[in-house]
Structure 1
């Protein structure tokens, strides 16, 4: 398949993946008694023992992660002439793997860390490394984009990078509204990937570097 066709396939996978996650979080939040999107982690919807756990994991986190991974690997192939762009996309793919892994290994009920189970530790490992890879991937993609045909991706990447770093800090610092920090980070990362996917659809390619 030509790169133009692959870019359309990649964008479709991205939109489907983000749509699945959004639907899972909205549905899960409405089905989970007393759930507060601002104060609770997204992962709590898929936690062990949560009424929404199996559905959110199997129909939300895992397919979202696989589709994000697919988008990112296709983007890496389309931008294969630049080692920097490929590295950025592979890191974004690692974020997708992290999401899928976090769905396979859910956190303990209410994501309690008092006496974490092995599954919960794996959840934190997949989720944490996935977010770190995404943040680094956005930074490298913004760096590459400065001299690309879509230079507008660079300032967008800087904004997304700042929001994501602050959001990640909110996850590990036990702030009062961790859910709000996480959703800000997820929204920022999704916005950058959508922008990258759209640019690929419009013919963004990489020159050999």
Structure 2
């Protein structure tokens, strides 16, 4: 006998909470251990870069499990909301963000995320990370639209705010502005907030209309 949607929703929220938690702990711990690390000016990826003192722990206990947990959460959400094709689509895109995080953890960037003569792993890191972020941005946008159509105004508003912050944050990451780390963390924070909001809404009974 399969688990009910109510049970799956509680499980999904717990998984999302754990996923956000492991990433937060890994980044805070890594930043404290890494010599002279600046959260505002350095990418998160530098904590897991090849040759970094925090490489193995941050990747193995932070980025990879975060990506796995977010992927599982998103697939559970897709199952719970399976009556709506739009909902399934945005959940699969959010899962793509999780896969991107896992890939970025498996294939670290070069030391200090240097762009000069990048290794194959560094190129794969950028590919997984970039596609993951794009999936997240598109997924959140579709989720906000779905929530608005499904009479879930709070989730729709949260999604719209997360979408705007994520677009700005992604620009800062790609353009490598001086405060690139701050832009990235704003984007990660917005995405995490939306994931938790979606999980909470599901746990409180949000379902897709046929």
**Please, what TM-score do these two structures have when normalized by structure 2?**
0.98
| 1:141 aligned residue (143, 158, 161) | 143
| 2:132 aligned residue (127, 130, 154) | 130
User: Which residue in the other structure is 1:204 paired with?
Assistant: 206
Unaligned runs of 5+ in 1: none
Runs of 4+ in 1 over 3 A off after TM superposition: none
* In structure 1, C-alpha distance between the alignment counterparts of 2:25 and 2:157, rounded to whole Å: 29
* Residues 107-153 of structure 1: per-residue CA shift (max 9 Å, x gap): 00000011110000000000000000000000000000012242221
Unaligned runs of 5+ in 2: none
Q: Tell whether the 8 Å contact from 1:160 to 1:188 is kept in structure 2 after alignment.
A: yes
User: Which residue in the other structure is 1:95 paired with?
Assistant: 97
Q: How much is the aligned-residue C-alpha RMSD, in angstroms?
A: 0.6
- SS of 1:97's partner is helix
Question: Do structure 1's residue 121 and structure 2's residue 162 form an aligned pair?
Answer: no
User: Which residue in the other structure is 1:184 paired with?
Assistant: 186
Q: How do 1:11-160 and structure 2 match up within 5 A?
A: 11-160=13-162
- SS of 1:81's partner is coil
- SS of 1:152's partner is helix
May I ask how many residue pairs the two structures share in their alignment? 208
- SS of 2:153's partner is coil
* Residues 179-201 of structure 1: per-residue CA shift (max 9 Å, x gap): 00000000001111111000000
* In structure 1, C-alpha distance between the alignment counterparts of 2:152 and 2:202, rounded to whole Å: 9
Q: Tell whether the 8 Å contact from 1:101 to 1:123 is kept in structure 2 after alignment.
A: yes
**Please, what TM-score do these two structures have when normalized by structure 1?**
0.98
* In structure 2, C-alpha distance between the alignment counterparts of 1:11 and 1:40, rounded to whole Å: 30
* In structure 1, C-alpha distance between the alignment counterparts of 2:14 and 2:156, rounded to whole Å: 23
Q: Tell whether the 8 Å contact from 1:149 to 1:204 is kept in structure 2 after alignment.
A: no
- SS of 2:53's partner is coil
* In structure 1, C-alpha distance between the alignment counterparts of 2:129 and 2:176, rounded to whole Å: 16
